Amino acid sequence: MQKLSVFNHVSLDGYFVDAKGDMSWARRHDPEWEHFVSANASGEATLLFGRVTYDLMAGYWTTPLAIKNDPMWAARMNDSPKVVFSRTMERASWNNTELMKGDLVTAVQKSKQERGNGIVILGSGTIVAQLTEAALIDEFQIVLNPLVLGAGRTMFEGVTRRPKLNLISSRAFADGNVALRYQPA
């Protein structure tokens, strides 16, 4: 059985994207963070995206700028298996990407039962909300950033249930960010 995890940054006021849908405020390059993420992102998990996040990720990680500035991460992102859920896309052109148009919850339930190295959701607030509502997420990895955006979107918009979560680890970084890991109780 595969584990389904979420990895997202949030602001102090609870937003994972700002009012314009931008996530670049969470982008960092300090050595302490790079070491943490490298250790945390080991393995060959399948990356799961909604269309908006997929377009942002594919639009950056395939560029010469990404390959020059972040060669290790560009290679990981470009080589990793990916799934994008979309009702509007005709095809997914980013290599190693499967386009899914069916029912998200049913497809993820099936994927979790298959053998694999896990599934990780990056960004994709609509996907996070739907799978939280369906109680399918096994772990939430949230990086709390010490800034206030004032407006934006929460990754839990539309969630009506109130899942109880247990904190399983936390780590504070010198720049004020705090990595929090939660599992459903």
How do residues 8-49 score in pLDDT, each as one tens digit?
999 999 999 999 988 888 876 677 877 777 666 656 899 999
Does any domain span residue 42? Answer: yes
Lateral strand order in the sheet of 46-50:
97-100, 82-85, 46-50, 119-122, 4-11, 139-145, 178-184, 165-172
- CA–CA separation, 96 and 77 (whole Å): 10
Does any domain span residue 184? Answer: no
Q: What is the pLDDT of residue 43?
A: 62
Three-state DSSP state, 181: strand
Does any domain span residue 164? Answer: no
Does any domain span residue 92? Answer: yes
- CA–CA separation, 51 and 137 (whole Å): 19
Question: Is there a contact between 138 and 129 (Cβ–Cβ < 8 Å)?
Answer: no
- CA–CA separation, 96 and 83 (whole Å): 8
Residue 94's domain spans which residues? 4-158
| Band of pLDDT at residue 71, cut at 50, 70 and 90 | confident
Region 115-119 average pLDDT: 92
Q: What is the pLDDT of residues 78-102, one digit of tens each?
A: 999 999 999 999 999 999 999 999 8
Does any domain span residue 67? Answer: yes
Sign for the pseudo-dihedral over CA of 18, 123, 56, 53: negative
CA distances to 50, 62, 105, 145, 153 from 77, rounded to whole Å, are 15, 9, 24, 23, 24
Does any domain span residue 173? Answer: no
- Tokens 């053998």 locate to 115
Query: Residue 43 is part of a domain; what is its CATH number?
Result: 3.40.430.10
Does any domain span residue 175? Answer: no
| Band of pLDDT at residue 175, cut at 50, 70 and 90 | confident
Count: domains in the chain: 1
